[in-house]
Structure 1
Amino acid sequence: MNGFSFANGLTVKNRIVMSPMTTMTSFYNGMVTSDEIAYYAKRAGGPGMIISGVANVSDSGKGFEGELSVASDEMIPGLAKIASALHQNGTRAILQIFHAGRKSNSEILRGNKPVSASAIAASYPAGSETPRALTGSEIEQIIADFGQATRRAVQAGFDGVELHGANTYLLQQFFSLNSNQRTDQWGGNRDQRMKFALAVINSVKNAVSSVSRPFVIGYRLSPEEIETPGIRLEDSLYFAEKIRDLVDYIHISMGSYRRTSLNDKRDVEPILQKFAKITSGHTPLIGVGSVELPADADNVLALGTDFVALGRELLREPQWVQKIAADDEDSIRTRISPSDMAELAIPSVMQVYLSESFKSVMHFTTDTNTKQDYRNQVAPMEGFEKKL
């Protein structure tokens, strides 16, 4: 598969990307563990880029236990070990960064109330804690925190950062009318609700303005919300149009690359194709969703994307890219035995997570349920399932 060169000069050896996936394996304070490094090293070398599991930029942004952190300089040495592990055979290392916002709780935050754009609880999971609305100064601090997190990613040796504006986390919460009903400069109509994301992008761009080597800034977004009120497809397409010349790539988050609109069943055009029309000639687009075999990757590219992201498939088959290159497609594993997870360097905590919360999407050899393709429904990884 041909390589790719970003406009800023960063070269990528092929169009395969490893999706960001939660490992839940960091120490209690967000520092890197040896299990995480081994997990990434097992999958490095093949994909052109690997995007790390998400790292919080602020202590108030922690969303779950075992989450990576980039909230202080103390994290840089450990993050540098991840970047080094990912750089095998020319693979590019991208650090995904975020703030969980209302997708957290007081227990995870050690007694502190979760925060968001407005004091409105999430619809999913049921019983979510009502957050505290951020003050203006707190919003400005979080914007600055994204910039500082990016500085640390540069120092740790990463080739870029991805802003996690998907899966109902804080960046998405500010854009959504479901979670942002503010009446100040950070809320209001659709353009007003975009201001937080635009400010974060600007903060991150400023942080890398003097970096002497190519460093990319990506943005991941969810195309729709299922709540009412909530983000609809036309809103996300509008959002993509507004940021397409501000970021180095856009990455869509959804469970199937064949997905069409969840809210408008009359619309049968694939969502990826819609976004490709917006991003073409402006910024690269990463497509994703239940890609398992080379034919799936070809289908994603045929929809107009520039990269193909694999997530669960690279858990099952770390040598996916190498096997394709060796014309050994028949040996690719599209199912996984629970007995093989340790051999595949999947950390023990992550094994539990996959076996319980993600059981329906992992294609375990011991699972007798019918495989779901998520063409017409959200998948567990899209922010509508409770994390352990």
Structure 2
Amino acid sequence: MMRVAEPLKLANGVELKNRFFKSAMSETMASSMNQPNEKHIRLYHEWAKGGAGVVVTGNVMVDRNALGEPGNVVIEDERDIGMLREWARKGTENGTQLWMQLNHPGKQSPKSMSKKPVAPSAVPLGDKFRGAFNPPRALTVEEIKQLVQKFANTARLARKAGFTGVQIHGAHGYLVNQFLSPHDNQREDEYGGRLENRMKFLVEIYEEMRYAVGADYPIALKLNSSDFSRVGFTEEESIQVVEKMASLGLDLIEISGGNYEQPKMSTGTDSEVFFLDYARKLKEEVDIPVVVTGGFRSPESMESALEKNHTDMIGIARPLALEPHLPKEIMAGSNAEITTQHLTTGVKALDANIGPAVGNVYYAMQLKRIAEGKATQRHTNAWRPLLHLIATHGPHALKPKRR
């Protein structure tokens, strides 16, 4: 048996059927009222049939007043419980684990979505982003407590609907990551200053979630290995956060890195498999299942990473937007193509400025095609996703966005 086909048992007793982990990709398919619909059901049914042990949803927002982009799903109450149950039912076929990723964008909510976004401190994004994002205001302590409860409530609703786990999005410069970063978090109260205080928001979210869903329900965390900035969240701090969360009973950690200003989650690092060096160090320090996502381009590299105990699961995102049944094909022994598309407008100067944002639109378009029962389209033409991005957010939108 291939190592990637072996099951993995979590500390809480939940068994994952194999080591394939479909990492979150933002679908942007919700209704104008940010509700899930039949498209989500069809898309996740395809991924459930595709063989991955764990499938993580695109970020589900916990606050209707704080969106990362148009088409985000928001879950605050039971108004969509029927649709959520069908989404969970189809998405958990074939023994698939379907985990809901929970998120709040903080200041990374574009002007088209937020007139006055919130953040740990009133620290705006860098100068080149000022045209696309309004400056944030600092959250009050009371508002922080309310947001903790929103995360816990959405987790409760996820379990009630039949999702088999949840993931806290603590990476990519969103709100949890902002609290962890000494650059973004300049508070002088119990939530700022030393790392123990900066991680307090995350710890409280986890503890309230755990109270809401119980000890036997998987809670995962997506965390930056680093913000890749000399003034941001560091690798050393990241390891300390994982050690703390593991001591509290966290079930699994997914490693990523960067934010809008340093988009390593979309551009990668110098190694073939993103963040693998960090994962090696992390596994020497903590006894918790680790997922490395990004950069796996062959079954051989997947098997090698598992064999050497550099990771416990193989995280894949964009290749599954092109071939949703890729895990099943690999486990069947086929020489499956594990590729992504490098988009270009044909204009070198323009390509240098459009960044990862256009790529994200391209892959979101492929998700919609899968959801509509259509074949994906593999091409390198950047013009259609570029025009779609400008039409949605305006010309200031040509900045890095989440994967």
Does the pair score TM above 0.5?
A: yes
Say if 1:83 and 1:157, in contact at 8 Å, map to a contact too.
yes
Does the alignment pair 1:385 with 2:389? no
Structure 1 residues 323 and 41: CA distance shift in structure 2, 3 A: same
- Is 299-308 or 54-63 further displaced after alignment? 299-308
Structure 1 residues 72 and 230: CA distance shift in structure 2, 3 A: same
Determine helix, strand or coil for the equivalent of 1:162. strand
One-letter identity of the residue aligned with 2:313: F
Does the alignment pair 1:248 with 2:251? yes
Q: Alignment partner for residue 236 of structure 1, among 221, 238, 245? A: 238
What's the TM-score, normalizing by structure 1? 0.81
Determine helix, strand or coil for the equivalent of 1:146. helix
What's the TM-score, normalizing by structure 2? 0.78
Q: CA RMSD in A?
A: 3.0
Structure 1 residues 245 and 122: CA distance shift in structure 2, 3 A: same
Q: Alignment partner for residue 220 of structure 1, among 219, 222, 225? A: 222
Give 1:300-339 correspondences, 5 Å limit. Answer: 300-301=305-306, 302-329=308-335, 331-332=336-337, 334=339
Determine helix, strand or coil for the equivalent of 2:129. coil
Does the alignment pair 1:166 with 2:181? no
Cα distance in 2 between the residues matched to 1:103 and 1:352: 16
One-letter identity of the residue aligned with 2:202: A
Cα distance in 2 between the residues matched to 1:98 and 1:145: 10
Per-residue deviation at 1:155? 0.7
Per-residue deviation at 1:325? 2.6
Structure 1 residues 363 and 285: CA distance shift in structure 2, 3 A: farther
One-letter identity of the residue aligned with 2:124: A
Match of residue 281 from structure 2: 274
Match of residue 378 from structure 1: none
Cα distance in 2 between the residues matched to 1:14 and 1:320: 13
Per-residue deviation at 1:149? 0.6
Per-residue deviation at 1:108? 0.9
Match of residue 295 from structure 1: 300
Say if 1:178 and 1:228, in contact at 8 Å, map to a contact too.
no
The percent identity for this pair of structures is 28
Give 1:193-204 correspondences, 5 Å limit. Answer: 193-204=198-209
Per-residue deviation at 1:48? 0.5
Cα distance in 2 between the residues matched to 1:144 and 1:79: 20
Deviations 1:300-357 (A, max 9, x none): 323521111110111122121221232222x43535699xxxxxxxxxxx99812699
Determine helix, strand or coil for the equivalent of 2:191. coil
Cα distance in 2 between the residues matched to 1:123 and 1:108: 18
Does the alignment pair 1:126 with 2:129? yes
Match of residue 380 from structure 2: 366
Cα distance in 2 between the residues matched to 1:335 and 1:4: 27
Say if 1:16 and 1:48, in contact at 8 Å, map to a contact too.
yes
Determine helix, strand or coil for the equivalent of 1:172. helix
Cα distance in 2 between the residues matched to 1:291 and 1:124: 34
Per-residue deviation at 1:8? 1.2
In structure 1, runs of 5+ residues without a counterpart are 262-267, 339-349, 369-383
Deviations 1:238-275 (A, max 9, x none): 111111222101111144999479xxxxxx98122112
In structure 2, runs of 5+ residues without a counterpart are 258-264, 344-357, 367-375, 383-398
Cα distance in 1 between the residues matched to 2:360 and 2:156: 33
Q: Alignment partner for residue 362 of structure 2, among 341, 350, 354? A: 354
Cα distance in 2 between the residues matched to 1:161 and 1:107: 28
Deviations 1:209-249 (A, max 9, x none): 2x7xx310001111111334211111111111111222101
Determine helix, strand or coil for the equivalent of 1:219. strand
Does the alignment pair 1:99 with 2:101? no
Match of residue 34 from structure 1: 38
> Would you say how many aligned residue pairs link Structure 1 and Structure 2?
345
Cα distance in 2 between the residues matched to 1:299 and 1:124: 42
More helix by share: 2
